[in-house]
């Protein structure tokens, strides 16, 4: 089992059992306890769990990752995400109804949308809502749900009734990973379930994925590959891999020379 697969397994166990015990995990995966401790440390630095003596538990409200923690998701591949967001904005037309998830890549798209008029934007991302709402001629609707601790993301399916009444032109979404076999995948089952509801009420699903997300998978599927109309990625994507996507329209966004 590769390190990424091992950490996905640990996160799945945490979601199911609300705790991880180092001794039990090491025995189950046939690795050393030191290996499991390293995995837990890296996952804590990403803000995905909180280590305890002998194991780990879900992140509690107010818990701060270590000072030497890895960059947040929004800081990783920021230039590529901005290029993808700008390219995605070219698909939007004033007057449309669009759905936005709460991912850092889709936030880069939201930063471009205040230039459009008379949009109706439905989102579970507080930051994205604020960006689009800078233009008073836009109508911004927040999906109700549970605020994820330590983030500006609303999760869960409490907004199901609202989404059933929405008929969107486009749904822009990202994920932790994407393969043809598993589709778009995420760590959080709640996040994945909400994305399924959003996709069901949009005429087109547009996936915004930087090259590091392609060919990898996470725990739970949010959007099946067959339901994706367009994929926007960056120039770091493997051209040969992109050719395996079949009917999915692929757009490659270039990072301007001045930003590299």
The pLDDT tens digits for 8-22 are: 899 989 988 889 999
Q: Measured over all CA atoms, what is the biggest interatomic distance in the chain, rounded to whole angstroms?
A: 58
Instruction: Indicate whether 71 pLDDT > 50.
Output: no
Task: Say which DSSP state 63 is in.
Answer: -
Cβ pair 171, 205 in contact under 8 A: yes
Instruction: Indicate whether 85 pLDDT > 70.
Output: yes
Q: Which of 260, 232, 201, 205 lies closest to 87 in space, CA to CA? A: 232
DSSP state string for 207-245: EE--GGGBT---SEEEE-GGG--EEEEETTS-HHHHGGG
Mean pLDDT of 224-231: 98
| Residue 64, C-beta contacts closer than 8 angstroms, at least 6 positions apart | none
Mean pLDDT value across the chain: 88
pLDDT at residue number 107: 93
CA distance 245 to 227: 12
Instruction: Indicate whether 66 pLDDT > 70.
Output: no
Cβ pair 211, 245 in contact under 8 A: no
Mean pLDDT of 186-195: 88
Mean pLDDT of 233-252: 95
In this prediction, residue 187 has a pLDDT band, given cuts at 50, 70 and 90, of confident
Domains along the sequence of the chain with CATH: 3-57 (1.10.10.10), 74-259 (3.40.50.10470)
Task: Say which DSSP state 125 is in.
Answer: B
């Amino acid at each position: 089992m590769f390190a990424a697969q091992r950490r996905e397994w640990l996160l799945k166990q945490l979601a199911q059992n609300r705790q991880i015990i180092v001794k039990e995990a090491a025995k189950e995966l046939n690795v050393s306890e030191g290996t499991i401790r390293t995995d837990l440390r890296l996952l804590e630095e990403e803000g995905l769990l909180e280590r305890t003596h002998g194991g780990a538990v879900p992140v509690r409200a107010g818990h701060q990752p270590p000072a030497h923690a890895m960059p947040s998701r929004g800081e990783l591949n920021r230039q590529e995400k901005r290029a993808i967001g700008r390219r995605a904005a070219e698909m939007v037309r004033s007057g449309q109804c669009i759905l936005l998830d709460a991912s850092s890549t889709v936030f880069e798209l939201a930063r471009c949308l205040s230039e459009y008029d008379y949009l109706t934007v439905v989102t579970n991302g507080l930051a994205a809502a604020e960006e689009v709402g800078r233009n008073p001629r836009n109508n911004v609707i927040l999906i109700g749900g549970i605020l994820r601790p330590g983030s500006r993301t609303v999760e869960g399916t409490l907004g199901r009734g609202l989404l059933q009444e929405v008929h969107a032109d486009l749904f822009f979404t990202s994920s932790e990973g994407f393969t043809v076999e598993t589709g778009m995948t995420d760590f959080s089952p709640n996040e994945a379930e909400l994305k399924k509801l959003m996709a069901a009420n949009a005429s087109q699903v547009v996936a915004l994925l930087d090259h590091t997300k392609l060919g990898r998978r996470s725990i739970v599927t949010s959007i099946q590959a067959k339901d994706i109309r367009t994929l926007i990625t960056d120039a770091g994507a493997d051209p040969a891999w992109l050719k395996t996507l079949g009917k999915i329209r692929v757009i490659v966004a270039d990072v301007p020379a001045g930003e590299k």
